[in-house]
Structure 1
Amino acid sequence: MDMVFSSLDDCYSMYVKYAKECGFSVRKGTTKTNSKGVLHIKYYLCTRTGLYKDKKVDTLDPNQKERVLRSNFSKRTDCGELLCVLFEAGSWKVYKFVEEHNHDLVERPDKHFLPTERHLTQLQKHVIHNMSKLNLGPVKAFNVMKTCFGGFEDVGASKVEFKKYKRYSMVFVPFTGIDNHHGNVTFGAALLASETADTYIWLLRVFLKAVGSQPKVVVTDQDPAMKKAISVVFVDTRNRLCMWHVMHKLSLKVGVRLCNSTNFKECICGVVWTDILTPEEFESEWEAVIAEFNLADNDWLSDIFALRESRIPAYYRIEEMFGLMRTASRSENENHFFGQVCNSKATLVEFMTHYETAIEAQRHTHRKNDHESRYKRPQLKSNYQLLEGQAVDIYTKSIFCDVQAELIGVADCINQRYEDQPDGFVNFYINDFQQPCTSLFERNILCMAL
């Protein structure tokens, strides 16, 4: 009683040493603040304080009325031992101490089983790290330690602590694009120690130096650090926000009943996802939907509309191939792709091996698609088989299927006319009568008789 400590860390360290000598482990308990919100009371408890609450579990038969309890062994004995410190006069003072336990204390030969005695030293962390370079896992590192120190009780940690030790805790950041087969392609990847704006700025600068040019469009979620980094480094790039991350919150923000009992969701998605509207038409149709369902006061919908130029396809019509990347789903697919060959607990050596395996598989798939595009000829189906035949020679198999679908639909949806001009030139006029928003296409061509 009345011992004084300069900090809570000093107090906790003393209490852990005391508990080790006695034969029990401690854990940090609750805290209390004063009227000004400042912490002034801290409790430290025996790990056997409290009681385990049994959880009733149904049997495998869901129709059976009886409920059974699984056999659970608990270390909790509702022990009343505790240490309480009070902050006063700039230091922490012990003002309550309950010494008695209602359970047996651990004997000296078994003290290495106590939770507070199982921790890794800096030497052990260093050994685990270096052994990972030799592709030796944490279990083998533990066995080496056991042999060197003389036994299980002398290691100071169990196999569990060795396997739980995170050597890196780094963030994997792949740069994902689209190849000429509509497939994902990894331009590069990085391992980051943090996800701050400064870290992302450094990463994007390194990427820009390696690639040599800025991308036209980058699709991300609403991460503010990434948004700031893109605006600093990719000054000529449009940062397109993933609409899927926004629209999947629709039911939550406007109400499940409105989405399920009306055609509101169909109407709003028809305006948001379509790429045939001009910006002016989008704004007009958006306002019509909002007015129809009386949602003018919904702040979330107002926020979406305010950020429309960074989300809505209508505002990306001038960007080349804007329709290929609308959401960050390709990034999610890429994460799943790498997740199949690696996990967050892998060592750096293991991760690099798995990463190279994944990239090799990705390149193999790309090469296979190239082969099929060169040596397989599709059946021509449109009324413009001359153009279709040229498209076969130009495009890959996947891209050609899109072009072919467009050619098949051309005859049913366009107006075309031409006018002979002097000197052998002909003016062609083409427009899409099913999409009045599209502009008239004009081309002046010199026709030569052979």
Structure 2
Amino acid sequence: MEIPNVMKNNGKNPIDSSMPINSNEDTVDVMEVVTWETIDQADEGLSISPGGNNWYTPVVEEVEKPIIGSVYPSLDVAESVYQKYAETAGFESFNSMVHCKHQREVRNSNIKRTGCTTCVKFRLMKGTRTYECYGFEEDHNHLLLRHDDIDLTRKGRQMKFSDQHFVHDAGISNMGATRAHKLHTSLRGGYEYGDPTVADYQNYKRGCDNFVGRGDAKVLVDLMTTKRDADNNFFFEYNCVGSELHTIFWVDEVARFNYSEFGDVISFDVTFQTNRHFMVFVPFTAVDNHNCNVVVGSALIGHEHVPNYKWLLQAFQKAHSKPPMMILTDQRPAMKQAIASVFPDSRHMLCIWHIMNKVPNKFSYDLLNNTTFKKQFFKLVWNIHISTDEFESRWMVLMEEFSLQDHQWLKDMFALRS
């Protein structure tokens, strides 16, 4: 049944929470002041009180209202009484601020306020653990919530354990949050019986998918182990330091085939950003006969130092029958040492793409905006059809033309050529 909201034309001023109540302040140890306000509003007519204020007073049975002088065994019981009254009246309540004996703590809330002075006050009785209601203001300065919209309040949209369990089970069955909400609502008998919205289901499902627990590393290792037991061509190894997973490497059947056919030159890329576990995703890639990248191995690294790189390359060597002829990487000293140690006969080259990405930070503004220089520079660097001698000759001419003989970064890059 919808609860009507009635306007009381009383013309009184809003209650001041700092006004003294007819009580002895010496008998008050702790005072709890709770303010509640509406989240939604119903369409009601407005009346103007003699004092110029609009006051809305809900029509509620007297037995459901807090009574000044009532004593409650705990603050939780006292608040539950007011919560029940608020739901019946058509507004949502929340704890606003706390008064100590001679100190007031300012509330901290992100809820939008309307300046409503509706409140109930409880105080801890001296020498006991009981709370007494010593103040109650029931008039609102705003419209109240319709009974049909109670499920849209924060409390009404809270997911119960049964809702959470249903979303979890639906996810195991590859059912999304939207379909899970429709199915659960149908099982309940209709949307009028389903309090959480589709957005609530989606938010909870996203939280489940993004949950990071202490057992995540074990779950990953168990998953890899199960896959290896079911597929003889699947290879993986992992390295732990204590109970922390530092490195994990895996290769499936397709990656093995790709390496056997196109593994003469591979790229070892560790420039991907870390995930929430602070581990870097490391793909080993090659180029097939269609000039497309193909994966020949994958890894996660927790710490980018020489021992981890060496372990990773040794795991790569175990997975594949032959070492690569050439390895392309970025300019990481730890990676250079690891490659020289594990693959001494492989040729280590620097990736030109990573080098060219540093150009904007290495050149001056004027040089970067010099179209003639940019055209000549990029045409020379990206030209794969010229010989080494021709490249070096044209490089020297370019450096002299733009007076870059003493540019330290260009000198260093030229010295690294091989």
- TM-score by structure 1 length? 0.35
Greater helix proportion = 1
- TM-score by structure 2 length? 0.37
> Is the radius of gyration larger for structure 1 or structure 2?
2
